[in-house]
Structure 1
Amino acid sequence: MAASALETRMCTIGLLETVKTGKKTGARHDRSAVRKSAGCVMDAVDVSVPALRRFARETVSRWGVLSDDADLALVVTELVGNVVRHSKGTEVCLLLSATASTLTVEVRDNGRWHDHPVPTPDELACSGRGLQLVKAYSAYVLVRTSTDGTRVVVTMQAS
Structure 2
Amino acid sequence: MDQTGSGTAIGVAVIYPMLIVVIVALNAVISASRTEHSLQAAADRAARSASLCCELVDDARDTARRSLSADFLQCVNDAAEESEIDFFDVSGSRMLPTPIPKDASDKGEPKVERLRVPPAGTVQVHVTCTLSAGAWGRMFAGPAGVQRHAVGQAIVDPYRSRLIPVQ
| TM more than 0.5 | no
Of structures 1 and 2, the one scoring higher in RCO (CA 8 A, sep 6+) is 2
Taking structure 1 as the reference length, the TM-score comes to 0.35
User: Higher helix share goes to which structure?
Assistant: 2
Higher relative strand content: 1
TM-score scaled to structure 2, two decimals? 0.33
